[in-house]
Amino acid sequence: IRSEKVRRLCKEQEIVTVNGQFPGPSIYVHEGDRLVVHVVNNASYNITLH
């Protein structure tokens, strides 16, 4: 996770990306699957994933 500056419609703003993507990738699992997610937050503030 990191903050990146992007320019859209002649306006520059900072957005949070996951693996360089916005929105971040979807994760699909089935009931009973075990999922381990390792997150490194390189943004300058706390992030909540949901």
Distance CA 25, CA 4 (A): 16
pLDDT value at 29 more than 80? yes
Residue 2 contacts residue 16 (beta carbons within 8 Å): yes
pTM for the full predicted model: 0.64
Percent of the chain with pLDDT over 70: 100
Q: How confident is the model at residue 34 (pLDDT cuts 50, 70, 90)?
A: very high
The string of pLDDT tens digits covering residues 13-26 is 998 889 888 888 89
Distance CA 35, CA 30 (A): 10
Question: What confidence score (pLDDT) does residue 50 get?
Answer: 76
Domain ranges of the chain: 1-38
Question: What confidence score (pLDDT) does residue 31 get?
Answer: 96
